[in-house]
Amino acid sequence: MAELRPPRLVLGSASLRRLELLAQIGITPHALRPADIDETPRPGEAARAYVRRMAVEKAQAIALELNEACLTGDTTVMVGRRILGKPADRAEAADFMRLMSGRRHVVLTSMALRHGDRLAVRLVETRVRMRSLDEATLQAYLDVGDWQGKAGAYAIQGAAAAFIPWIQGSFSAVVGLPLSETAAMLAAIGIHPRLEGASA
């Protein structure tokens, strides 16, 4: 009996960070197919429900060929009950950073893995503390531009690393993809790391 080949992995994201994170655990997607969906939260939608819905809707929006599996993810920041997505402009980025300054927030990252008629979903929560930022520090950070396109207006692996003295949970989830959980999800459908570092 012929051995079943593992599915080819499609990463449903345009995020270089997620691509780099997969490479870190020896996984190279067969293709990149970013999903084009409306990412607006619904009125009154809780942050956890929102981030799970985004990952699922992305996975469902991507066309797959035979023997392909699709991995999608979504990351958002929650302060209290407020969802901090990607800031529209510098002023909103400043508002987000002031809101997080000197307090803890939660980074929510959800992944969805679609293979055939099966859909697996995981949600990972990481608690993050941001030190107090004075106005001069905040403006200098905004000048760098690292807030653009980032949930919560920061990337923990970027300039804002100087503001984060403590996290509880998954560092890679804050970057954009919780590696341990993702590796387990992929292994369940037969996709394993190329530990020898061979190219795809």
Catalytic residue ranges: 74
User: How far is it, in rounded angstroms, from Cα 119 to Cα 70?
Assistant: 9
- Contact by Cβ (8 Å): 174, 156: yes
Alpha helices in the chain (DSSP H): 16-24, 47-61, 90-100, 135-144, 171-175, 179-187
- Contact by Cβ (8 Å): 50, 57: no
Give the side-chain half-sphere CA count within 13 A for 34: 9
User: How far is it, in rounded angstroms, from Cα 156 to Cα 137?
Assistant: 16
